[in-house]
Chains A and B, each alone.
Chain A
Amino acid sequence: MSQVSMTVNGKSASGEIEGRTLLVEFLRENLGMTGTHVGCDTSQCGACVVHVDGKAVKACTMFAAEAEGANVTTIEGMANEDGSLGTIQQAFQDHHGLQCGFCTPGMVMSAAALLADNPNPSEVEIRDYLEGNICRCTGYHNIVKAIMAAAGHDVSKIAAE
């Protein structure tokens, strides 16, 4: 066992870990932050996406030890300070971009990373960026629409509402 320290959602966090402890395990088990989910074991589904030093990573494919000293942001850190939903979160609710909610944390974190890099993505760019985030409920329609809306697009003309 060894000690690891990092900043999670602006607060310092530390704990005892093994070499094999994944970042997602540290978040869920050491810190009790269960918003970050595990949906696969081959680094594909993206339910575990968090930001490490501002970059989207799969927390199931990174050791906690590798996040020593890093600045980590999870879904628990995405709301506004007053507790209201952040822009992307609110767009997901407004446009029904989630159903069972299991992939949602990863979707929101990926969407946030995309919009940080590219504040005005096209539909094609959004769909391409979500290659590593699998949703089984929504058929992606309302996820893509929500991200477009969060980016300020007029989504009223998108088919079906």
Chain B
Amino acid sequence: MYAFDIERPTRLTDAVKLLSDATDSQLIAGGQTLIPTLKQRLAMPERLVSLGAVDEIKGICTGDDGALCIGGGTTHADVAAGAGAYPALAGLAANIGDPAVRNRGTIGGSLANNDPSACYPSAVLASGATVVTNARQIAADDFFDGLFATNLEEGEIITEVRFPVPDAAAYMKFEQPASRFALVGVFVARFSGGVRIAVTGASEEGVFRWSEAEAALAGNFSAGALDGLSLSGDGMISDLHGSGDYRAHLISVMTRRAVAAA
């Protein structure tokens, strides 16, 4: 790692202030992706601003509108244990990485990184969640912006994610054998107003909604409603763990299984 200083503010406003001063700063949440990146010397911040001690952005509660509100600094383990009101989301969190990673990694860190194989983006997008930052609220459909890119501005901190709780939902992840990230992950959420399906791991554009399947399921929420629907392998990630065609095929399989499990 290159040398850097590390600051551990205890208040969100102090973190925001540090990020906007003259020193070249980078935010660190759980660090489960950032620290390996720093070890490879792929980042060279002068200073890391840690959110680890900012307790005000940790925790889970239910909003006035019934949404499940998860603080941006909440670890995967805490979501797994505390998001019982939204079992599909808790189950997703319980299967990210491994137990030690889940004790450090946070939902805000995962979303800000927007790894194309991460699990959380699919939940946020399929749920139609709202990403709340220190500055504004961002709808899920506007948040993700391709591989490792989001709508966040420099120095903007995810303070909370508000998940409307669907009537039924499930997440199906098919793991890449080495990293155990999603080779394909499909999150299906059924609301009274319709069905949302988000796919992670597969597309060269990052997490995306499978609108044809959403339409097919809107009137008939059963795996059979997906018969005949498929995606093209074009535009899907193709690597030694699977071709684009394989990933496209897995999306169909995992979507069916998610619908059946929801």
Contacts and interface: CB of A to CB of B under 8 A. Distances in A.
A41 B33 CA distance: 11
Contact of B4 (A19, A44, A61): A19
Contact of A131 (B2, B35, B180): B180
Contact of A56 (B3, B50, B103): B103
A46 interface: yes
Interface in B1-30: 1-6, 8
Nearest to B1: A20
Interface in A32-59: 41-44, 46, 49, 52, 55-58
Given A43-B101, A65-B8, A132-B101, A20 B3 contact: yes
A113 B31 contact: no
B98 interface: yes
B97 A66 contact: no
B4 A20 contact: yes
A65 B36 contact: no
A94 interface: no
Contact of A18 (B3, B31, B99): B3
A117 to B, nearest CB: 8
A132 B32 contact: no
A49 B98 CA distance: 11
Given A43-B35, A68-B8, A132 B100 contact: yes
* Interface size grouping (class) on chain A: 20 to 34
Contacts of B47: 19
Nearest to A20: B1
B209 interface: no
B35 A62 contact: yes
A129 B101 CA distance: 11
A114 interface: yes
A66 B100 contact: no
Nearest to B178: A44
- Please classify how large the interface on chain B is, using the bins under 10, 10 to 19, 20 to 34, 35 or more: 20 to 34
B99 A42 contact: no
B37 to A, nearest CB: 10
Given A41-B36, A61-B31, A62-B35, A55 B103 contact: yes
From B31, B100, B180, residue with most partner A Cβ within 10 Å: B100
B101 to A, nearest CB: 6
Contact of B100 (A18, A20, A58, A65): A58
Interface string B63-105: 0000000000000010000000000000000000111110110
Contacts of A89: none
Interface in A98-132: 110, 113-114, 129, 131-132
A39 to B, nearest CB: 13
B99 A19 contact: no
A63 B101 contact: no
B38 interface: yes
B173 to A, nearest CB: 13
B48 to A, nearest CB: 7
Given A41-B36, A62-B31, A132 B98 contact: yes
A79 B188 CA distance: 47
Given A68-B8, A132-B100, A41 B39 contact: yes
A113 B99 contact: yes
A19 B48 CA distance: 8
B14 to A, nearest CB: 16
Nearest to A133: B98
A20 B6 CA distance: 8
Nearest to A131: B98
Contacts of A57: 100, 103-104
14 contacts: A41-B36, A41-B40, A43-B32, A56-B99, A57-B103, A58-B101, A61-B31, A61-B104, A63-B31, A66-B8, A66-B52, A131-B98, A132-B99, A133-B98
Interface of A: 18-20, 22, 41-44, 46, 49, 52, 55-58, 60-63, 65-66, 68, 110, 113-114, 129, 131-133
